[in-house]
Chains A and B, each alone.
Chain A
Amino acid sequence: MLAFLSTVRWQDIADIALTSYILFRFYVLFRGTTVFRVITGIALLGFFQRVAVSLGLIVTSWVMQGFTAVAALIIIIVFRNEIRNVLQARNLHAIFWGTGLKRQTAPVESIVQAIYDLSRQRIGALLVIPGVEDLEDVVQRGIPWQGLATREAIKTVFWPDNPVHDGAAVLQGSRIAEVGVILPLSHRENLPSAYGTRHRAALGLTEVTDSMVVVVSEESGRVSLVKNGRIDPIADNVELSRRVREHLGIVVGPTRRQKREKVKLVAAAVCSVLLITGVWFSFTRGLDTLITLEVPVEYVKRDPKMEILDTSVNTVSLQLRGSESLIRSLKPEQVKVRLNLSGAAMGENTFTLTSENIVLPPGVFLDKVKPPAVHVTLDVPVARSIPVQVDWAGRLDPELRIEFVSVEPDRVRVEGGSGVLEALSTLYTRKVPLAKIVESGSMTVELALPPASVEVAPDEPEEVTVTYTVKKRQK
C-alpha cells in the first residue's frame, strides 16, 4: 500500500480532485433538469456500449457508439435554452461554489395569504412558480409586470375586473414577472370533469417543465397545487406554504428536507470522487500495456533561407507505455515528434530525441525511441551548371571504337543545396547500350540525377543529344 502511495504524484491528486469537483458542480447545477436526466442516460449508454464490446455484440456496440457520438451535439442543440438558463440565472459564486439550497427570497407567506383570500372570495387564479427550466419556449408571453409579489398585488392581478385576470401570473423571485400569460393546455383525456381550463393549463405547463402552478378554482374556491403533471388538492395554508417552500428549496431552519438535500449533496460529492478515482485508475494504472508506433518527424522553425536536403529518417519508432484503455484509445494524430531546427546550422545536424521533442496525450509515457538521434542536413539552395558525361554500358563490337563523342547541351543547370552541388562535378546520362552501335550516329538520352535532392532547373532539358563517331579499331 505504501509502495503504491509513493507512486502517486501530487498532479494525480490534483487531477482527481479537479475533475471530481467539476462533476460535482455539474450535478449541483443541472440536477432535476431534463439535461441531467438525458446526460445520465447517455452515460449509461456509453457504459452499456463498453459492456457490449466486451461481450462481442458487434451491432449493438456499433449502434450505441453512434448514439453516444452524436449525444453531445443533441444535448447542446435541444437543451440549449436550459443550459443557458442554468448558467445565466446564477452568478459565478453560484456556479463554482453554491450548493443550490436557496435562501428565502420569495414572499411565501404573502403568496399563501393572497391565494387563500382569493379562495375565500371564489376568485379564480393561476400562479406559476418556475423551477430551473426555462418557460420561454413553452408559454405565450403575457404582459411584463415586475411588481413586488405582495398579498395585495397578487389579489389585484386576479381581480375579475382586471383585464389580465384570465391568464396566469408568473413569479420570479420576490416579483410578479408577467401577467396574462397563456399556458399550454394538457391533452390528457382522463381529466375529471371538476377540473376546468385553469387546471388543464396548469397540467399542460407542468407536464413539459419543472414549474409548480397554484390553481384557485373559480367555482369551488378550492386550492390545488400542480407539479410534474399531477394535481394535488391542498388542505390548508400550512400545507400550501410547506409545498411552495419545498419547491423553491427555501431553507428557514434545519428542516428534514434541508438535511436530506445536504445528505444528497455529500453523497453526490463522494460519488463524484469515487467515480473519477475509478476512471483515473482505469486510465493511468496498470501501466503494463506497451505499444510501438511509427510516427512521422515534424521539422519546425527552420531558417527560411535554408532547405532540408536530407534526413536520416522520416519516421521514428516510439515505444509507449500506459493503461490498456488509454493505449487502446490512442490515435496516431495524438502523438507527435517535433524537431526544432531554429538552432540548426548549414550542413549535417544531429538531434537527440528526448521527451521534449515528443508530444504524448496525458497518461501515456515514453519508453524508447528508435533511432535515438536524427541527422538533418540543411543547406542553402543554389543553381549550378554541371557538365554532362555519357555513361556507356554493354559491349562494343571489338572491331570498332568510338573515336569522338559530343553531348548537346554539354552542360545542364541544376538546383540543389550548395553543399551537395559543390561536391557534384558531373551529371551522367542513363546507361547507353553499346551493343547496337555499328556506325556513327546520334541519339537522345535521359539524364540520371543522383542524389535525390538535386533537380534539373525548370527551364533546362532533362535529355541530351549524344553524337558519336565510330571508326575501325587498329590491330
Chain B
Amino acid sequence: MHGNRNGRACPNRALFLLLSLALVLVPYAKGRCQSTGSDTAHGESRLQMDQAVMCEEVRDLAPVNVSVVFSVDIGKVSCFTLFDPVPQKTVVYHTWFHRDQESTRKRLALRPPRWSTVSSIQLRETDKGPWRVVISDDTGHIFGIMRFSVTD
C-alpha cells in the first residue's frame, strides 16, 4: 500500500516539477528569441529611449535651456537623449536634417545599464530654418524625431 502510494506520488511530484520548470523557462526562452531578433527596441526589456530633448548645452549630464527654437547667435544646438534600460552595448544614431536635407549623422555608443548621450551642431547663418533630428538604432528603428527651428 505504502509502496503503491509512493509509487503514485513520485510521478505526480515529477510532473509538478516539470510544469513549474516549464513555466519558469518559457518566458525566458521567448525573451531570448526576441532579444536576438532584428528589432531590439520592441521588447519590454529592450533598449528604450527615456528622454530626448533639444537644448542649448548639457551640464552635469543634464540638458540646459530645453527649447524648440534656437537663435543662431547661441552658436550651437544639442540633441540630448537618455536611454534606460540599455541591455547591452550598442549604438544609436542622431541624424540631423535641415529642411528635409540630411545635414549630418552622428554615431553614438551606449553602455548598460543606463546611458545618456548627446550630439551637437555648430550654427551658421545658413542654418536658419526648420530642423529635425531622427534618433534611430543600427537596424533603422526610429526611437523618436525631435523638431526645432533655428532663427535670427
- Chains A and B bind each other: yes
Residues of A with Cβ closer than 8 Å to B? 387, 389-396, 398, 401-405, 423-426, 428, 434, 468, 473-474
Asked whether B68 lies within 8 Å of A395 as measured between CB atoms, the reply is no
- Residues in A with CB closer than 8 Å to B100 are 423-426
- Residues in A with CB closer than 8 Å to B44 are none
Q: List 20 A-B contacts (CB under 8 A).
A: A390-B130, A390-B149, A391-B130, A392-B151, A393-B151, A394-B151, A394-B152, A395-B71, A395-B151, A396-B69, A396-B151, A401-B65, A401-B66, A401-B67, A401-B69, A402-B68, A402-B69, A403-B67, A428-B130, A468-B68
Asked whether B145 lies within 8 Å of A387 as measured between CB atoms, the reply is yes
Q: Mark B100-141, 1 if CB is under 8 A from A, else 0.
A: 100000000000000000000000000001101000000000
A396 CA to B132 CA, complexed, in Å: 19
**In the complex, how many angstroms separate the beta carbon of A442 from the nearest chain B beta carbon?**
14
Which residue in chain B gives the minimum CB-CB distance to A423?
B100
A434 CA to B130 CA, complexed, in Å: 14
- Residues in A with CB closer than 8 Å to B76 are none
Which residue in chain A gives the minimum CB-CB distance to B53?
A403
Which residue in chain B gives the minimum CB-CB distance to A426?
B100
Which residue in chain B gives the minimum CB-CB distance to A424?
B100
Closest A-B pairs by Cβ, 4 of them: A392-B149, A401-B67, A395-B152, A389-B147
Main secondary structure of the interface of B (DSSP, over half): strand
Asked whether B67 lies within 8 Å of A402 as measured between CB atoms, the reply is yes
**In the complex, how many angstroms separate the beta carbon of A386 from the nearest chain B beta carbon?**
11
Contact of B64 with A by CB under 8 A: yes
Given contacts A398-B71, A402-B69, 9 further A-B contacts (CB under 8 A): A389-B132, A391-B149, A394-B151, A401-B69, A404-B68, A423-B100, A428-B130, A468-B68, A474-B65
- Residues in B with CB closer than 8 Å to A428 are 130
A223 CA to B65 CA, complexed, in Å: 128
Q: Which of A424, A434, A473 interacts with B151 by CB under 8 Å? A: A434
Asked whether B71 lies within 8 Å of A396 as measured between CB atoms, the reply is yes
**In the complex, how many angstroms separate the beta carbon of B128 from the nearest chain A beta carbon?**
8
Which residue in chain A gives the minimum CB-CB distance to B147?
A389
- Residues in B with CB closer than 8 Å to A403 are 66-68
Which residue in chain B gives the minimum CB-CB distance to A398?
B71
**In the complex, how many angstroms separate the beta carbon of B133 from the nearest chain A beta carbon?**
12
A141 CA to B132 CA, complexed, in Å: 97
A428 CA to B129 CA, complexed, in Å: 10
Which residue in chain B gives the minimum CB-CB distance to A401?
B67
A99 CA to B149 CA, complexed, in Å: 91
Main secondary structure of the interface of A (DSSP, over half): strand
Q: Which of B65, B68, B71 interacts with A405 by CB under 8 Å? A: B68
Known A396-B69, A398-B71, A402-B67: A389·B130 in contact at CB below 8 Å:
yes
- Residues in B with CB closer than 8 Å to A395 are 71, 151-152
Asked whether B149 lies within 8 Å of A473 as measured between CB atoms, the reply is no
Asked whether B130 lies within 8 Å of A426 as measured between CB atoms, the reply is yes
- Residues in B with CB closer than 8 Å to A473 are 65, 67
**In the complex, how many angstroms separate the beta carbon of B1 from the nearest chain A beta carbon?**
75
Known A434-B151, A474-B64: A392·B145 in contact at CB below 8 Å:
no
**In the complex, how many angstroms separate the beta carbon of B85 from the nearest chain A beta carbon?**
26
- Residues in A with CB closer than 8 Å to B67 are 401-403, 473
- Residues in B with CB closer than 8 Å to A392 are 68-69, 130, 149, 151
A474 CA to B56 CA, complexed, in Å: 10
A405 CA to B151 CA, complexed, in Å: 16
A95 CA to B97 CA, complexed, in Å: 81
**In the complex, how many angstroms separate the beta carbon of B12 from the nearest chain A beta carbon?**
58
- Residues in A with CB closer than 8 Å to B130 are 389-392, 426, 428
- Residues in B with CB closer than 8 Å to A396 are 69, 71, 151
A393 CA to B71 CA, complexed, in Å: 10
Asked whether A391 lies within 8 Å of B129 as measured between CB atoms, the reply is yes
A474 CA to B145 CA, complexed, in Å: 25
Which residue in chain A gives the minimum CB-CB distance to B64?
A474
**In the complex, how many angstroms separate the beta carbon of A20 from the nearest chain B beta carbon?**
69
Which residue in chain B gives the minimum CB-CB distance to A428?
B130
Which residue in chain B gives the minimum CB-CB distance to A389?
B147
- Residues in A with CB closer than 8 Å to B147 are 389-390, 426
Asked whether A434 lies within 8 Å of B69 as measured between CB atoms, the reply is yes
Which residue in chain A gives the minimum CB-CB distance to B128?
A393
Which of A392, A405, A434 gathers most chain B CB within 10 Å? Answer: A392
- Residues in B with CB closer than 8 Å to A405 are 68
Q: Mark B9-52, 1 if CB is under 8 A from A, else 0.
A: 00000000000000000000000000000000000000000000
- Residues in A with CB closer than 8 Å to B152 are 393-395
A424 CA to B97 CA, complexed, in Å: 13
Which of B64, B69, B130, B147 gathers most chain A CB within 10 Å? Answer: B69
- Residues in B with CB closer than 8 Å to A468 are 68
A434 CA to B68 CA, complexed, in Å: 12
- Residues in B with CB closer than 8 Å to A394 are 151-152
- Residues in B with CB closer than 8 Å to A398 are 71
A401 CA to B129 CA, complexed, in Å: 17
- Residues in B with CB closer than 8 Å to A389 are 130, 132, 147
Which residue in chain B gives the minimum CB-CB distance to A473?
B65
